Chains A and B, each alone.
Chain A
Amino acid sequence: MYTFSSKLKTLSLALMIIGLLGVGYGFLSAPASVDEVKVLLQESHNAHGEIPATTSYAISESGDAVQSEDAHAEHVYHLLKNKPWSALYVALFFFFMISLGTLAFYAIQHVSQAGWSIVLFRVMEGITAYLPVGGVLLFVFFVLSATQNHLFTWMDPEVVANDVLIQNKTGYLNVPFFLGRAAFYILGWVLYRNYARKMTLAQDASTDLSNYRKLFKSSAAFLVFFLVTESMMSWDWIMSLDPHWYSTLFGWYVFSSLIVSAITTIALVSIYLKGKGYLEFVNNSHLHDLAKYMFGFSVFWAYLWFSQFMLIWYANIPEEVTYFVTRFNDYKVPFLGMVVLNFVFPLLILMNSDFKRVPWFIVTTGIIVLIGHYIDIFVMIMPATVGDQWFIGISEISSILLVLGIFIYVVFNEMTKAPLLAKGSPFIKESEHFHY
C-alpha cells in the first residue's frame, strides 16, 4: 500500500495556496476600466518613443473603418480582462486532458487485452481520479464563462446579433446546449472511470473472470463513446473560441496532444513511485514501452500539427488562414518553439533504444514534452481570447501551480486507497515477467 508522504502533501497544498494567491492577484490586477488601459497604452507608446497610428489587431472584429484610439483601448481592455480567465482555462484544460488521455490509454489496454501494462493499472487509475474533480472545475468554469467573461464570444448576444456566420451556427453554439453537452461528456467519462475502477478492485478479490469480462466490454463501449465525444469536446471547448474558423482534423490534433501528455505523466508518476521504493514489479522494460509510446505519439503530434497547417497554408482560404496568421504574427516563438520541444527534442533524445530505459532521460524528456504541450494548449486558446496581449506572467504560472497542486493531491491520495498491483488480472504474471 502506498502512503501519501507528508512532504508531497505539503508540497501540493503549498502549490494550491501559492497558485490561489497568484490567480487572485491576476484577477485583481486586470484593468478595471477602459481609462486605465488608455493610461497603460500611452505609457507603453511613450516607452517605445513612437505613436503608431493603428496597430494590427483585427482578429475577429469587423474592421469597417480605421478604428479610433478609443475603440483600440476598449479592445485591449477586453483582451486584458480575459487574460486571467484564459490562463486559468489553459491550466484547467491541460490537467483535465492528461487525466482524460490516461483514461483512454487505460481503456485501450483493457480492450486490446495487453499483458505488459497491467502493473501500471493502479498508476493510471490514480491519474484518472482527477477526472471528476477536473470535470467539475471545468464545468463551473463554463458556467462562469457564460456570465462572467468573454472567452467564448458566441455566448455574447451582442456579438451574435452582428455576426451572420455565428447566427448560422446558433443551433449548435448556444449556452444551454453547450453546457448540456459538456455535462454529458464529463458524466460519461467519469461514469466509465468509476465503473472500471470498481471492476478492477472487484477482480482482485474474486475467483472467476466475470469482472474482467465486464471490464472488457465496458472499455470497448467507452472507447467508441470517447472517440466521438473527444472530438466534439475539442470543437466545443477550444475550436469554438474562434467561432468563424474550423478544421476537420482538430479533434485528432487535440487527441494527439492529450495522449502524449497522458503517457508522459504515467511514466513520470511511475518513475517517481519506483524511486520511492513502491512499484518494485515495474522494470525498465515497462518504462521502455512507455518511452516508445512517448516517442511515437510525439511524432504523431508533429504529423497532425503539420497536416493541419499545410492544408490551410496551401488552400489559402481567408477564413481559415486567419488562424495561422494570428499565430505567426503574435505567437511566433511559442508556436514554432513548441515544435522543437514536442517533436525535435523527443525525436532525437528518445530515438536511441538504450536511452528509453534510463529513468532520468525519460524524466527530462517528459518534463520538456509536458511544457511543450502546455504551450500547445496555450497557443490553441490564447490567440482567440487575449490576442496580442499575451505573456506568461503571474496569472499563467500561478494557474498552473494551483491546478498542479490539486492534481497531485487528488492523484496521490487516490493511490493510497488500493494496493499498487492489480493482482486479480488474468495477465498479471505476463506483466510481471515482461522483458524485452
Chain B
Amino acid sequence: MSNKVVQAMYNDDDILMDAVKEVRAANYHIEEVYTPFPVHGLDKAMGLKGTRIAITAFMYGCVGLVFSVWMMDYMMIKDWPQDIGGKPSFTFIQNMPAFVPIMFEMTVFFAAHLMVITFYMRSRLWPFKEAENPDPRTTDDMFVMEVIIDGNEDELIAFLEKTGTVEIKVTEKH
C-alpha cells in the first residue's frame, strides 16, 4: 500500500511551488518532484535538507593540494631535478613559487571532478541508466509532483485537484 503514489502534473513552476507548499501544509508526504529545469526555492519549499557537497568540495580541494605538493616534490626535486631558468631545485621550499600555479590547478581539478563524480554517485546516475522520471513530458514543459498515498486515496486526489493540477494519475511506485 505504501508504494502507491499519486502523480499530479502542473504546467507552470509558480503553480507548482504553491501546490508544494499547500500539500506540505496539509501534512501529505511528497515523495519527489520532477521538473524540466531547476526551480529556484523548490528545495526549501519541499523541506529538503541542505546539500553537503560544499564540505566534500573542501575536502577534495585539500586532497588535491596535498597531492600536488607530493607530485611536484617527487617529480621536480627528488626523481629528476632539472635546471629551469637557474631556479634552485635542491629543496621544495626554494622552488615553491614555481609550483604554486600547479598546486592551485590541482586543488581546483580535484575539487571540481570529484565533486561531479560525488554528485553522480549520490544521485545514482551512471551510463546506460534507465530514466527515473515517470513521464517523458517532465523533460519538456511539465512538472510532476509525486505524493505517497497514506490513508484515504480519494480525499488526497480531491485535495490535489484543487491545487491547480492539469492531470492526475495513480500508479504503483517500483
* Interface positions of A (Cβ within 8 A of B): 306, 309-310, 313-314, 316, 351-353
Give the distance to chain B from A298, nearest Cβ to Cβ, in Å.
15
B54 within 8 A of A: yes
In the complex, which residues of chain A have a beta carbon less than 8 angstroms from the beta carbon of B86?
316
Q: Are B97 and A313 in contact (CB under 8 A)?
A: yes
Q: Are A314 and B97 in contact (CB under 8 A)?
A: yes
With A314-B85, A314-B87, A316-B86 known to touch, is A353 a contact of B97 (CB < 8 Å)? no
Q: Are B58 and A351 in contact (CB under 8 A)?
A: yes
Q: Are A314 and B58 in contact (CB under 8 A)?
A: no
Q: Are B98 and A306 in contact (CB under 8 A)?
A: no
Give the distance to chain B from A315, nearest Cβ to Cβ, in Å.
8
A-B contact pairs, 17 of them (CB 8 A): A306-B97, A306-B100, A309-B97, A310-B97, A310-B98, A310-B100, A310-B101, A313-B97, A314-B85, A314-B87, A314-B97, A314-B98, A316-B85, A316-B86, A351-B58, A352-B54, A353-B54
Query: Please, how many residues of chain B have a CB less than 8 angstroms from a CB on the other chain?
Result: 9
- Please give me the residue from chain A that is nearest to B85 by CB atom: A314
CA distance A392 to B58 in the complex (A): 37
In the complex, which residues of chain B have a beta carbon less than 8 angstroms from the beta carbon of A309?
97
Give the distance to chain A from B74, nearest Cβ to Cβ, in Å.
22
In the complex, which residues of chain B have a beta carbon less than 8 angstroms from the beta carbon of A310?
97-98, 100-101
In the complex, which residues of chain B have a beta carbon less than 8 angstroms from the beta carbon of A351?
58
In the complex, which residues of chain A have a beta carbon less than 8 angstroms from the beta carbon of B85?
314, 316
CA distance A352 to B101 in the complex (A): 24
* 8 tightest A-B CB contacts, nearest first: A310-B97, A313-B97, A306-B100, A314-B85, A314-B98, A310-B100, A353-B54, A351-B58
Given contacts A306-B100, A314-B87, A352-B54, 6 further A-B contacts (CB under 8 A): A310-B97, A310-B98, A310-B100, A310-B101, A314-B97, A351-B58
> Could you mark each residue 52-75 of chain B with 1 if its beta carbon is under 8 Å from any beta carbon of chain A, else 0?
001000100000000000000000
What secondary structure prevails in chain B residues at the interface with A?
helix
- Please give me the residue from chain B that is nearest to A303 by CB atom: B104
CA distance A309 to B87 in the complex (A): 15
In the complex, which residues of chain B have a beta carbon less than 8 angstroms from the beta carbon of A352?
54
CA distance A353 to B100 in the complex (A): 26
Give the distance to chain A from B68, nearest Cβ to Cβ, in Å.
15
Most buried by A among B85, B86, B97, B98: B97
- Please give me the residue from chain A that is nearest to B87 by CB atom: A314
In the complex, which residues of chain B have a beta carbon less than 8 angstroms from the beta carbon of A316?
85-86
In the complex, which residues of chain B have a beta carbon less than 8 angstroms from the beta carbon of A353?
54
In the complex, which residues of chain A have a beta carbon less than 8 angstroms from the beta carbon of B98?
310, 314
In the complex, which residues of chain B have a beta carbon less than 8 angstroms from the beta carbon of A306?
97, 100
> Could you mark each residue 23-50 of chain B with 1 if its beta carbon is under 8 Å from any beta carbon of chain A, else 0?
0000000000000000000000000000
CA distance A286 to B41 in the complex (A): 18
Give the distance to chain B from A211, nearest Cβ to Cβ, in Å.
32
- Please give me the residue from chain B that is nearest to A310 by CB atom: B97
> Could you mark each residue 85-106 of chain B with 1 if its beta carbon is under 8 Å from any beta carbon of chain A, else 0?
1110000000001101100000
Give the distance to chain A from B4, nearest Cβ to Cβ, in Å.
37
- Please give me the residue from chain B that is nearest to A315 by CB atom: B85
CA distance A309 to B98 in the complex (A): 11
Give the distance to chain A from B75, nearest Cβ to Cβ, in Å.
18
CA distance A316 to B87 in the complex (A): 9
In the complex, which residues of chain A have a beta carbon less than 8 angstroms from the beta carbon of B100?
306, 310
CA distance A310 to B97 in the complex (A): 6
CA distance A353 to B87 in the complex (A): 40
- Please give me the residue from chain A that is nearest to B54 by CB atom: A353
CA distance A314 to B87 in the complex (A): 8
CA distance A352 to B54 in the complex (A): 8
Give the distance to chain B from A365, nearest Cβ to Cβ, in Å.
17
CA distance A352 to B58 in the complex (A): 10
Give the distance to chain A from B65, nearest Cβ to Cβ, in Å.
12
Give the distance to chain A from B80, nearest Cβ to Cβ, in Å.
20
CA distance A364 to B86 in the complex (A): 43
Give the distance to chain A from B1, nearest Cβ to Cβ, in Å.
40
Give the distance to chain B from A111, nearest Cβ to Cβ, in Å.
25
In the complex, which residues of chain B have a beta carbon less than 8 angstroms from the beta carbon of A313?
97
Give the distance to chain A from B112, nearest Cβ to Cβ, in Å.
16
In the complex, which residues of chain B have a beta carbon less than 8 angstroms from the beta carbon of A314?
85, 87, 97-98
CA distance A309 to B58 in the complex (A): 27
Give the distance to chain B from A80, nearest Cβ to Cβ, in Å.
34
- Please give me the residue from chain B that is nearest to A311 by CB atom: B97
CA distance A350 to B67 in the complex (A): 24
CA distance A110 to B97 in the complex (A): 39
CA distance A306 to B101 in the complex (A): 10
CA distance A309 to B54 in the complex (A): 31
- Please give me the residue from chain B that is nearest to A351 by CB atom: B58
In the complex, which residues of chain A have a beta carbon less than 8 angstroms from the beta carbon of B101?
310
- Please give me the residue from chain B that is nearest to A352 by CB atom: B54
Give the distance to chain A from B153, nearest Cβ to Cβ, in Å.
37
In the complex, which residues of chain A have a beta carbon less than 8 angstroms from the beta carbon of B54?
352-353
CA distance A306 to B103 in the complex (A): 13
CA distance A260 to B162 in the complex (A): 52
In the complex, which residues of chain A have a beta carbon less than 8 angstroms from the beta carbon of B58?
351
